[in-house]
């Protein structure tokens, strides 16, 4: 065996032995198509995870060795940033690789050279080309260094303004190839923006730098928005002395104070509704709201598991706490530990409930009361968590940087970071859509 091959196999064996999990799996061929892979990273976000080293190289021009022009550098950074945000990977600097030919692996005639990446300790490598002209064309490939195989190859094309959406699509495909579950980049997040008495309703997407206005200030603030099945919307508008509940942009109720509306799995809006002596949870599925709790005190902030179980806040024990009931109209049992507990958010799998402890920190707990864990400690006030459609991430608001802004983190508390530092003004009360974006 020649020395160069001996060094390659030695480095490859060492990389496999030292990696934090088995990385063997069925891989796709070199052509630009996707084949169903086996799961390489079984994702368990209940605790500390072993991170896998990932390198995202510069996108190259379609011909020659130069870096691609246009917006390719920003798209390259967006892809790396997306994958880093998930909390599944540790980014490694591709410039530290001793790869002789940057175009290796980018065509069927140029085989990928895995040895330099194994020496660098990279578990996965993403390479690509970008062509700017009448249309933007990206050809992106994911390589598994351990198996020495290409896992995924995609050719994406569109207008230049579609570059960000194309990167989000490829991110979702990479996560599907590696974990068996597609990512949710491009999924919608609704939130309130502006000062307390001037709030408006905004909509953005995971992996986007922009937000659009759904409801501006009009005679009073709009607040407490939520997204439901089919990306339906609901929020509250203060109109003088009256409170209005809007569903899909239309007023369906006007009267006493409405608090924290949300959707049931079946698409019915449920919210807290104040009466003369108490505030209870009501359904808004007709002309007249129907109460489903009558605790006599304050019962608000409903959130639903896929099977219809409801988590909510009640002060029937004296201190606001999280309660769980079997469904609409069923009695609830206290779940959260001591201290003030608010803002429950059920995970899309029904296996976790996130909530706010003492109006400051976000915690998670299992529906049976086990697995209590505080995720945000000593970093400002952290409020109103909401799970991503795949349950891997949480969006929340935080004052850790000064003014209140939206942040995201992995569901185990890792990778806490701003959702989008470019979004202006005060941001609060986020709600993540339960709808995952399509892969195609």
Q: Is 240 exposed, middle or buried (0-12, 13-18, 19+ CB in 10 A)?
A: exposed
For residue 393, give the 3-state DSSP assignment.
strand
The tens digit of pLDDT for each residue in 231-245 reads 999 999 999 889 999
pLDDT band at 30 (very low <50, low <70, confident <90, very high): very low
Q: Has residue 15 got a pLDDT over 80?
A: no
Q: Is 221 exposed, middle or buried (0-12, 13-18, 19+ CB in 10 A)?
A: buried
For residue 275, give the 3-state DSSP assignment.
coil
Q: Has residue 261 got a pLDDT over 70?
A: yes
Please report how the helices 163-179 and 72-85 are oriented relative to each other, as an axis angle in degrees rounded to 10.
40
Count of Cβ atoms closer than 10 Å to residue 282 Cβ: 24
pLDDT band at 69 (very low <50, low <70, confident <90, very high): low
Contact indicator for 428, 65 with CB cutoff of 8 Å: no
> How large is the average pLDDT for residues 332-352?
91
Q: Has residue 22 got a pLDDT over 90?
A: no
Round the average pLDDT of the chain to a whole number and report it: 86
d(CA 186, CA 330): 36
pLDDT band at 68 (very low <50, low <70, confident <90, very high): low
Contact indicator for 261, 282 with CB cutoff of 8 Å: no
The tens digit of pLDDT for each residue in 363-413 reads 999 999 999 999 998 899 999 999 999 999 999 999 998 889 999 999 999
User: Which residue in 392, 402, 322 sits closest to 355, CA to CA?
Assistant: 322
> How large is the average pLDDT for residues 343-369?
95
Class of domain 188-432: mainly beta
pLDDT at res. 108: 80
pLDDT band at 107 (very low <50, low <70, confident <90, very high): confident
Percent of the chain with pLDDT over 70: 87
Helix count (H) and strand count (E) of the chain?
4, 30
Contacts of 226 (CB under 8 A, 6+ apart): 190, 233, 234, 235, 261, 262, 263, 431
Domain boundaries, the chain: 3-44+51-179, 188-432
pLDDT at res. 423: 86
**3-44+51-179 and 188-432 have identical folds:** no
Angstrom distances, CA of residue 391 to CA of 1, 266, 347: 49, 19, 6
Q: Has residue 14 got a pLDDT over 50?
A: no
The sign of the torsion formed by the CA atoms of 328, 331, 336, 340 equals: positive
Q: Has residue 63 got a pLDDT over 80?
A: no
13-28 CB burial, b ≥16 within 10 A, e <16 = eebbeebeeebebebb
Q: Has residue 73 got a pLDDT over 80?
A: no
Q: Has residue 127 got a pLDDT over 70?
A: yes
Q: Has residue 213 got a pLDDT over 70?
A: yes
Which of 63-77, 158-172, 369-383 is the least confident region? Answer: 63-77
> H helices within 68-200, ranges in order?
72-85, 115-120, 163-179
User: Which residue in 343, 390, 381 sits closest to 365, CA to CA?
Assistant: 343
> How large is the average pLDDT for residues 55-59?
94
pLDDT at res. 16: 35
pLDDT at res. 67: 61
Q: Has residue 91 got a pLDDT over 60?
A: yes
d(CA 66, CA 126): 17
Contacts of 62 (CB under 8 A, 6+ apart): 68, 129, 130, 131, 137
pLDDT at res. 134: 81
Percent of the chain with pLDDT over 90: 68
Phi and psi based region of residue 391 (left: phi greater than 0; alpha: psi -120 to 50; beta: remaining): left
Q: Has residue 323 got a pLDDT over 60?
A: yes
> How large is the average pLDDT for residues 223-236?
96
pLDDT band at 31 (very low <50, low <70, confident <90, very high): very low
Which of 44-48, 109-113, 245-249 is the least confident region? Answer: 44-48
pLDDT at res. 316: 87
Q: Has residue 79 got a pLDDT over 60?
A: yes
Q: Has residue 45 got a pLDDT over 80?
A: no
d(CA 15, CA 21): 11
d(CA 349, CA 307): 9
Q: Has residue 335 got a pLDDT over 70?
A: yes
Could you confirm whether domain 3-44+51-179 is CATH 3.40.50.10070? Answer: yes
Strands 188-193 and 200-205: antiparallel
The tens digit of pLDDT for each residue in 262-278 reads 999 999 999 999 988 89
pLDDT at res. 402: 86
**What share of residues in the chain are helix, strand, coil (percent, to 5)?**
15, 40, 50
> How large is the average pLDDT for residues 39-68?
68
């Amino acid at each position: 065996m020649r020395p160069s091959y001996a060094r390659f196999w030695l480095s490859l064996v060492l990389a496999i032995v030292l990696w934090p999990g088995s990385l063997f799996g069925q891989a796709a061929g070199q052509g630009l198509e996707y084949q169903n892979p086996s799961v390489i990273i079984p994702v368990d976000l209940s605790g500390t995870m072993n991170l896998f080293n990932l390198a995202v190289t510069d996108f190259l021009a379609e011909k020659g060795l130069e870096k691609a022009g246009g917006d390719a550098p920003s798209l390259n950074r967006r892809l790396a940033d997306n994958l880093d945000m998930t909390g599944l990977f540790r980014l490694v600097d591709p410039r530290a690789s001793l790869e002789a030919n940057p175009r290796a692996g980018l065509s069927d005639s140029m085989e990928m050279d895995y040895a330099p990446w194994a020496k660098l300790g990279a578990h996965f490598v993403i390479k690509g080309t970008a062509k700017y002209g009448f249309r933007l064309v990206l050809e992106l490939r994911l390589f598994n260094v351990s198996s020495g195989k290409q896992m995924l190859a995609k050719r994406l094309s569109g207008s230049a303004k579609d570059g960000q959406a194309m990167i989000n699509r490829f991110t979702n495909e990479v996560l599907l190839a590696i974990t068996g579950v597609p990512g949710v980049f491009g999924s919608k997040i609704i939130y309130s923006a502006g000062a307390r008495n001037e709030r408006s309703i905004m909509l953005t997407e995971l992996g986007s730098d922009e937000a659009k206005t759904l409801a501006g200030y009009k005679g009073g603030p709009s607040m407490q928005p939520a997204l439901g099945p089919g990306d339906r919307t609901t929020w509250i508008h203060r109109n003088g002395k009256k409170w209005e509940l809007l569903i899909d942009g239309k007023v369906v109720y006007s009267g006493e104070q409405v608090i924290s509306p949300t959707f049931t799995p079946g698409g019915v809006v449920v919210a807290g509704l104040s009466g003369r002596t108490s505030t209870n949870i009501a359904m808004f599925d007709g002309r007249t709201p129907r109460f489903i709790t009558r605790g006599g005190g304050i019962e608000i902030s409903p959130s639903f598991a896929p099977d219809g179980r409801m988590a909510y806040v009640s002060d029937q024990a004296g201190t606001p706490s999280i309660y769980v009931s079997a469904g609409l109209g069923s009695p609830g049992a206290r779940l959260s530990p001591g201290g003030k507990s608010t803002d429950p958010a059920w995970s899309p799998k029904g296996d976790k409930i996130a909530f706010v402890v003492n109006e400051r920190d976000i915690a998670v707990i299992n529906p049976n009361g086990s697995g209590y864990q505080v995720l945000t400690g000593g970093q400002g006030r952290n409020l109103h968590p909401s799970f991503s459609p795949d349950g891997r991430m949480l969006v929340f608001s935080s004052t850790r940087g000064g003014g209140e802004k939206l942040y995201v983190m992995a569901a185990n508390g890792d990778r806490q970071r701003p959702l989008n530092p470019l979004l202006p003004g005060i941001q609060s009360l986020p709600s993540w859509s339960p709808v995952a974006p399509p892969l195609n």
